């Protein structure tokens, strides 16, 4: 049996998962890869931290050079996270002819090009399945299995924390804060949950998926982002009334030769497969011009699911017909140039919830303004009693219209004397085009 | 741009889909594969049949030798179906150093070994994504993305015709015959629907999936098979009452070091992701020891979805680091030896529907017999009025028990004077182990 020596940068959640899998599935991995995989070194910050897994002390180091300068190490797994020194370490490893597997979405979304180019120019493999949706093989799916397709649209539930929170709000009627607290208690949300609940994490992942699916460079700033902190139980109730659910979706669509890139809470029909993705599960729904509708569903995070993606990437490197001594990888993707749509022009259906004075003529004033901006309404709902301030809630659902039209008209609407506040605006996606 | 010449065996549904994709997605395919793909020849039975697509007459031939003996043809796509001459043609092509892509589930399920061995010994690639679940990349998923896992269980809705029929029965209360008729009118079922409704098609696919997932040879006769013709609207009604739905599942599980292989109608909880796979859609649900629960969902048949899988396989061959002139593919999977469980010993929960005389003591007699065979009951339902013959329906739901215990006890139960008939026995899968 051939042997390959690998190094791990990082022994946190993902690193630990990788160690456990390499250990417990040793026999499978040998049979499938044709190699005995040996961990040569593991880089950490703190040598004395208890690791909770069975790893020989001698493997652990805080000196990156022990890995960089060991020519017997052929594959390096980056599971540290963050931009630096992860970026610098990977670049240096590639200059030494080491293949890379990484789970680092933030780095890929912001500095991906540089890393891909270095891999290409050195004939190396660079794999990153774990960076999006953990154990779900969506990167491989797009990169290997949907290659015959023009991908037209992609919709992802790619953040488990927010999906867990929205599930709790939907099924148990919790408020956002309560649901977040529960997610934190369950270990699904971090002490500082900003990256998840404000949609940054999903934004990174969408940038990675879109650049792969559309063969183009995506500047993260071109991805519109809106988090879930503004969703209220009453919005959940209205969604239910419309036979819809609210999900944080990462969406990319090609429309008139432009890419729309956006992360935002979205009302989708209860019957759609994405609507039935609950708790901390993730899913990615893709429309290809040949394959039609396709969905991948599974665990988006966690030590073992994420480790599964990392180790499968390692096996893919070992099984490729690459000569590990001579680095002859020839797989190169030519990049397309794609135009990005301005979010203001991106069209959608919208749900608008407002609190207004309970007096005759209010609705007339509102619809007059919407008419002026060419926003046409599909339905209007007003029910329930006045609150203490004499306001009632109305909900408007529009036909397809641009964000600019909505924002401009809502701006004008909120300046009406009879309108107390526009409380929420949520996009509706019914998957019909 | 490099050029590669390929040949198509067959220009039916799948072959036509492949031609359309090669044509409409030419640019994507070039960028992704690095090759211009040229169709050199297409083999058919009848040269004069109208083909309904734009294909040059000169390409079409009825003489296989024009393909076999053309050394400039490097990849052959088999989309004829049937055992012979598909088997003989593929073997001969591989002896001439041609890589193979096939959609032929029947041939793979019965003669797969011989074909895989020939490919291995000739250093050739042999790809068959289209053979299971059409456009869903489940073969690639298992073969490339889940390699770090021990797969523990796999559940597939892999036949679109039966899923369409069961969906119609569930949602519109149709009887089996009516629903079948509708499936035929819609073009989802063939004039002779036996292969679909009796579960043969699913049996082939399960054999292919299982041998890949468990790295072993599967004799098709070891796959237990039961069709859906016995499902009645009343069974659908009871399922609904239990918050379940009935699906034709192809199941493989590893239990006590043995593989259970079975295709049969199954009651599953409405909340499970597989329960929400409707119409002619397919899905495959996999449990891996690292990745956890994973599901792939999409179109299991049709010219373009199936063509998408075939063309993606072609691109995978072109993108591999294989030297098309020298056939140096080195990917070989070692086979494991796996024991297959005897279906009689396979355990499950069961739903039993019987018609019995409406008189005191019947239930006592039945439960006494079940007790004798150590079958324990979870619930018993009797309701509704006598029919003309004085019979009433009772439904029994058991705890986990072996098929042998169920069949033996039901045999004895049906010989009771007070029992008119055991009308149906359906397995229940609640995905808890
Ligand atoms: N957790 C998930 O489920 C998941 C899912 C998908 C992707 N990812 C990605 O995977 C990566 C790792 O995530 P994680 O959850 O495993 O993180 P983590 O638990 O914080 O672990 C990070 C590890 O990297 C080490 N490390 C960090 N900076 C270092 C430095 N400058 N020098 C040496 N070692 C350093 C740490 O060492 P010490 O242990 O000594 O502190 C620790 O072992 C991130 O990019 C993350 O986005 C995670
Ligand atoms: N249809 C689907 O959605 C689907 C999905 C997954 C897998 N598959 C598999 O794909 C394969 C093809 O299916 P299909 O639906 O495309 O079948 P089809 O429509 O019946 O087409 C078969 C083609 O093969 C040609 N052919 C058959 N026997 C031949 C022979 N002895 N010599 C030369 N040509 C021959 C036929 O020629 P003529 O046209 O001259 O008769 C026809 O063009 C089957 O293995 C099937 O199981 C199909």
The predicted-structure confidence for A322-353, as pLDDT tens digits, reads as follows 666 666 665 555 567 789 999 999 999 999 99
Q: What is the DSSP letter of B241?
A: H
Contacts of B331 in chain A (CB under 8 A): 319, 321
Rg (CA), chain B: 24
pLDDT of res. A330: 57
What's chain A's average pLDDT?
Answer: 94
The model's pLDDT over A353-372, given as tens digits with 9 standing for 90+, comes to 999 999 889 999 999 999 99
Residue of chain A nearest B127, judged by CA positions: A145
The model's pLDDT over A130-171, given as tens digits with 9 standing for 90+, comes to 999 999 999 999 999 999 999 999 999 999 999 999 999 999
Average pLDDT value for residue range B198-204: 98
Which of these is catalytic: B127, B205, B253, B349? B205
CA B379, CA B399: separation in Å to the nearest integer? 9
Q: Which of A28, A144, A311 lies at the smallest CB-CB distance from B144?
A: A144
B200-213 and B105-121 helices cross at what angle (nearest 10)? 30
Spatial contact of B105 and B201, defined as CB atoms under 8 Å apart = yes
Best mutation target, A22, A101, A140, A147, to test chain B (most B CBs within 10 A) = A147
Give yes or no for residue B204 having a pLDDT over 80.
Answer: yes
Highest average pLDDT, of A333-342, B183-192, B282-291, comes from B282-291
Average pLDDT value for residue range A15-25: 98
Contact (CB<8Å) B291/A273: no
Q: Which atom of ligand 1 is nearest to the CA of A78?
A: 11
What's chain B's average pLDDT?
Answer: 94
Best mutation target, B37, B77, B148, B272, to test chain A (most A CBs within 10 A) = B148
CA A369, CA A239: separation in Å to the nearest integer? 25
The model's pLDDT over B63-83, given as tens digits with 9 standing for 90+, comes to 999 999 999 999 999 999 999
pLDDT bucket at B329, cuts 50 / 70 / 90: low
pLDDT of res. B272: 95
Pocket residues: Cβ below 6 A from ligand 1: A 10-15, 43-46, 49, 79-81, 85, 103-105, 130-131, 134, 301-302, 306
The model's pLDDT over A28-61, given as tens digits with 9 standing for 90+, comes to 999 999 999 999 999 999 999 999 898 999 999 9
Q: Which atom of ligand 2 is nearest to the CA of B47?
A: 40
Average pLDDT value for residue range B209-216: 94
Average pLDDT value for residue range A390-401: 95
Distance from the Cα of A273 to chain B's closest Cα (Å) equals: 7
Distance from the Cα of A371 to chain B's closest Cα (Å) equals: 40
Which of these is catalytic: A41, A98, A168, A205? A205
The CATH code of domain B2-134+303-319 reads 3.40.50.720
| Reduced 3-state DSSP string for chain A | CEEEEEEEECCCHHHHHHHHHHHHCHHHHHHHHCEEEEEEEEECCCCCCCCCCCCCHHHEECCCHHHHCCCCEEEEEECCCCCCCHHHHHHHHHHCCCEEEECCHHHHHHHHHHHHHHHHHCCCCEECHHHCCCCCCHHHHHHHHCCCCCEEEEEEECCHHHHHHHHHHHHHCCCHHHHHHHHHHCCCCCCCCHHHHCCHHHHHHHHHHHHHHCCCCCCHHHCEECCCCCCCHHHHHHHHHCCEEEEEEEEEEEECCEEEEEEEEEEEECCCHHHHCCCCEEEEEEEECCCEEEEEEEECCCHHHHHHHHHHHHHHHHHCCCCCCCCCCCCCCCCCCCEECCHHHCEEEEEEEEEEECCCCHHHHHHHHHHHCCCCEEEEEECCCCCCCCEEEEEEEECCEEHHHHHHHHHHHHCCCCEEEEEEEEEECCCCC
Distance from the Cα of B158 to chain A's closest Cα (Å) equals: 14
Best mutation target, A13, A145, A287, to test chain B (most B CBs within 10 A) = A145
Q: Which atom of ligand 1 is nearest to the CA of A51?
A: 39
Contacts of B291 in chain A (CB under 8 A): 135, 298-299, 304-305, 308-309
Average pLDDT value for residue range B271-293: 97
Contact (CB<8Å) A298/B295: yes
Residue A205 designated active-site: yes
Å from CA of A220 to ligand 1 middle: 22
Backbone angles phi, psi at B75, to 5 degrees: -135, 135
Reported ipTM: the value is 0.93
pLDDT of res. B433: 65
pLDDT of res. B328: 62
The structural architecture, per CATH, of the domain B344-428 is 2-Layer Sandwich (3.30)
Is 3.30.360.10 the CATH classification of the domain at A138-299?
yes
pLDDT of res. B382: 87
pLDDT of res. B390: 84
Average pLDDT value for residue range A280-294: 98
Give yes or no for residue A303 having a pLDDT over 80.
Answer: yes
The model's pLDDT over A64-80, given as tens digits with 9 standing for 90+, comes to 999 999 999 999 999 99
The model's pLDDT over B127-182, given as tens digits with 9 standing for 90+, comes to 999 999 999 999 999 999 999 999 999 999 999 999 999 999 999 999 999 999 99
Identical fold for domains A138-299 and A344-428, yes or no, is: no
Give yes or no for residue B58 having a pLDDT over 70.
Answer: yes
Å from CA of B85 to ligand 2 middle: 12
Domain ranges of chain B: 2-134+303-319, 138-299, 344-428
Å from CA of B10 to ligand 2 middle: 5
Q: Which atom of ligand 2 is nearest to the CA of B131?
A: 7
pLDDT of res. A329: 61
Contacts of A32 in chain B (CB under 8 A): 147, 215, 333
Distance from the Cα of B126 to chain A's closest Cα (Å) equals: 15
Give yes or no for residue B275 having a pLDDT over 90.
Answer: yes
The model's pLDDT over B332-382, given as tens digits with 9 standing for 90+, comes to 555 677 899 999 999 999 999 999 999 889 999 999 999 999 999 999 998
Q: Which of B145, B150, B314 lies at the smallest CB-CB distance from A137?
A: B145
């Amino acid at each position: 049996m051939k042997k390959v020596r690998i190094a791990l940068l990082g022994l946190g959640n993902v690193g630990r998962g990788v160690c456990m899998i390499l250990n417990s599935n040793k026999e499978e991995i040998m049979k499938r890869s044709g190699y005995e995989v040996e961990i040569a070194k593991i880089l950490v910050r703190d040598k004395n931290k208890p690791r909770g897994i069975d790893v020989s002390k001698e493997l652990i180091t805080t000196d990156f050079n022990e890995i960089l300068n060991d020519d017997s190490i052929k594959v390096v797994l980056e599971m540290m996270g963050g931009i630096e020194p992860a970026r610098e370490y990977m670049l240096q490893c590639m200059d030494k002819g080491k293949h890379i597997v990484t789970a680092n979405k933030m780095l890929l979304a912001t500095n991906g090009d540089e890393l891909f180019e270095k891999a290409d120019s050195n004939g190396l493999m660079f794999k990153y399945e774990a960076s999006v949706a953990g154990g779900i093989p969506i990167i491989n799916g797009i990169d290997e299995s949907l290659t015959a397709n023009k991908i037209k649209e992609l919709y992802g539930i790619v953040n488990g924390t927010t999906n867990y929170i929205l599930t709790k709000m939907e099924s148990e009627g919790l408020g956002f804060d309560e649901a977040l607290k529960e997610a934190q208690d369950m270990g699904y949300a971090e002490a500082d949950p900003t990256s998840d609940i404000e949609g940054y994490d999903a934004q990174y992942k969408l940038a990675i998926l879109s650049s792969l699916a559309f063969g183009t460079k995506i500047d993260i700033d071109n991805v519109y982002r809106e988090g879930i902190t503004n969703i209220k139980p009453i919005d959940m109730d209205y969604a239910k009334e419309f036979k819809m659910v609210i999900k944080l979706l990462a969406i990319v669509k090609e429309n008139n030769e432009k890419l729309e890139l956006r992360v935002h809470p979205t009302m989708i029909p209860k019957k759609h497969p994405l609507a039935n993705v609950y708790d901390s599960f993730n899913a990615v729904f893709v429309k290809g011009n040949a394959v039609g509708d396709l969905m991948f569903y599974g665990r988006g995070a966690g030590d073992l699911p994420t480790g599964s993606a990392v180790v499968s990437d390692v096996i893919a490197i070992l099984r490729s017909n690459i000569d590990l001594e001579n680095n002859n990888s020839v797989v190169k993707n030519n990049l397309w140039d794609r135009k990005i749509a301005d979010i203001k022009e991106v069209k959608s259906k919208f749900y608008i919830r407002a609190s207004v004075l309970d007096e005759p003529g209010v609705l007339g004033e509102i619809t007059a303004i919407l008419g002026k901006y060419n926003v046409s309404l599909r339905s209007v709902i007003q029910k329930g009693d006045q609150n203490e301030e004499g306001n009632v809630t109305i909900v408007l659902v529009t036909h397809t219209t641009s964000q600019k039209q909505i924002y401009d008209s809502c701006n004008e609407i909120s300046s009406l004397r009879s309108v107390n506040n526009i409380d929420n605006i949520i996009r509706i996606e019914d998957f019909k085009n």
